[in-house]
Structure 1
Amino acid sequence: MTNVDDSPARLRLDRALDHLSVVLRGMTAREDEVQCDCHWGGEEELARLKAPDVELDPDLLRRTWTAPDWSDHGAVLRRVLPQLARALVGGSGEPVSGMAEVGASFARGRWQEWPAPQAAAVEEFLHAWWAHALTDPEPAVPVHGLLALCTEASATPGPWLAVWEGLDDEVADRHLAETAGRWEYDLLDDRLPWNGWRLDDEEAVRSELAAWLVRHVPARLRARDGHEELLHRVRLLGLTGPARWEDPHWPDRRS
């Protein structure tokens, strides 16, 4: 028997996807938009972007949203976003370089400067997707990847961390443990835990992520079994200089 997700978070996400499709219906790339036919694709494919509401094959969809050199990236993104959003939520279309690249495409499109109904629809889609992923035991896109996407798209992790912080939920705490475990290596070396694409101040974002983990991981994971070493690594994120690397729990990975 198929498991049907009819949770309030899933229903909200479905509504957001439907609304995004309605608001962006009829969007096209600019009539004078051009692309390199030897690196991107041919005139026939470009013509499809100038026709509204025509389904794109997955390869053309990927080449379109990843291309960094459209003259009007916002118009192109509006054209493909309803299909791209559904593909991403369904777990397809993730680039080899990670979900942050998707967020960078959003940022290049300057979606927050679109007409108010369009910008509001994109914002609600991102927030609905994030809220659903946090409470989904097996989200199609891992929470750590989606947080990178949302941070790149909005230029800040703050709103997304605030939602996570407000959840008293065992599933959300499991995602927290996984994310902290994946990110502690880079954060302990004072690096952003993904390849930054469009962030103006990567150091500020890294600092905010590390400080948030230091504040919230211990309280959320202390009662869970098997996290003793992870809790020490997170504690180290709150230290600097010799206090960090001379701590008995500093990982000896440089020898």
Structure 2
Amino acid sequence: MPSPPLTAALRQIDAVFGGMTAPSEGCLHCYGAGELALLAVERARLGDDLVRILMHEVPSHFTDHPAVVRRLLPEFFSFVAHGRFSGMAYLPTGLGRTAWREWPAEQAAAIEGFLGVWWRETLADPGPVYGVQAVWELCADIHGSVTPLLDAWDSAPRGGSEDRHLAGRAEHWLDDLLQDDVSLVVPWGSEPLAELQEWLVTRAVRRLDGQVDPLLLAKIGLLSLGPEERWVAYAELVASAD
């Protein structure tokens, strides 16, 4: 069951988006008329499978894609929060394809609120149901940015699950980031590469100092070097550790 803070975030989503409808117009090659008709019925339950499919559909399949996304949000976020969502690896999401930050302030704030609580609770959980990487990817896709996720990590309590997850992600990401490849870290684009590299060097190393193998911290530090210097220093570092 969702925690009290996540339940409160879900209630806010429902208060803002519950009862919304969307035109029952869309791709009849992919969906039946009866399925699309449900979009125009207030609070008609769509079900987990249809919500998952619709939330990942390309915008061109609907005459009013943002309206469809708003219609889906109460069920979609409830689906996610209850640990039933099986589509974490399928990106981008419909919400990530909208300019939701330009929606009315109450709507944008409700989305921000849910994502913030969900991400912070994922970091605080020693064994999150979806795993940290999957939640990271989905939240980054919806935000269109890694900045809110890094800010939350930066302000989290130290010495607990947040730092253990950070050490695990840093080690998992490191080889790709040393090659200036961010595609497996943030699947939707290359824009966060420099921001993530800088944050790991300037913030993550400070958080993890004294908690992990110093060799890992030294390798992270190499991200501050240019590509040619980086690999020379890497070879020297590995040789000295043998």
Does structure 2 conserve the Cα–Cα contact (< 8 Å) formed by 1:89 and 1:141? no
Q: How many residues matched?
A: 234
Cα deviations across residues 81-103 of structure 1 (Å, max 9, x unaligned)? Answer: 111112112333242635x533x
Matched residue type, 2:120: A
- Counterpart of 1:164 in 2: which secondary structure? helix
In structure 1, the partner of 2:220 is: 234
> Is 1:168–2:161 an aligned residue pair?
no
Matches within 5 A, 1:57-136: 57-68=47-58, 69=60, 70-95=62-87, 97-98=89-90, 100-102=91-93, 105-136=94-125
Unaligned ranges ≥5, structure 1:
none
Matched residue type, 1:97: A
2:11 to 6, 14, 18: 18
Cα deviations across residues 56-75 of structure 1 (Å, max 9, x unaligned)? Answer: 23221121111102232211
TM-score, normalized by length of structure 1? Answer: 0.82
1:189: how far off? 1.4
1:52 to 35, 42, 54: 42
Q: CA, structure 1 residues 17+147, in 2 after alignment: closer, same or farther (shift >3 Å)?
A: same
Does structure 1 conserve the Cα–Cα contact (< 8 Å) formed by 2:125 and 2:161? yes
Distance of 2:206 and 2:238 partners within structure 1: 23
Q: CA, structure 1 residues 179+67, in 2 after alignment: closer, same or farther (shift >3 Å)?
A: same
Q: CA, structure 1 residues 17+250, in 2 after alignment: closer, same or farther (shift >3 Å)?
A: farther
In structure 1, the partner of 2:175 is: 185
1:174: how far off? 0.7
Q: CA, structure 1 residues 52+88, in 2 after alignment: closer, same or farther (shift >3 Å)?
A: same
Matched residue type, 2:6: L
In structure 2, the partner of 1:29 is: 22
Matched residue type, 2:27: Q
Does structure 1 conserve the Cα–Cα contact (< 8 Å) formed by 2:6 and 2:81? no
- Counterpart of 2:27 in 1: which secondary structure? coil
Distance of 1:114 and 1:51 partners within structure 2: 22
Matched residue type, 1:186: D
TM-score, normalized by length of structure 2? Answer: 0.86
Distance of 2:68 and 2:237 partners within structure 1: 47
RMSD: 2.4
2:142 to 124, 146, 153: 153
Distance of 2:86 and 2:237 partners within structure 1: 34
Which one has the bigger helix percentage? 2
Identical residues among aligned pairs (%)? 34
Does structure 1 conserve the Cα–Cα contact (< 8 Å) formed by 2:88 and 2:138? no
Unaligned ranges ≥5, structure 2:
none
Matched residue type, 1:179: R
Distance of 2:238 and 2:134 partners within structure 1: 24
- Counterpart of 1:233 in 2: which secondary structure? helix
1:195: how far off? 5.5
Runs (4+) of structure 1 exceeding 4 A deviation are: 249-252
> Is 1:244–2:233 an aligned residue pair?
no
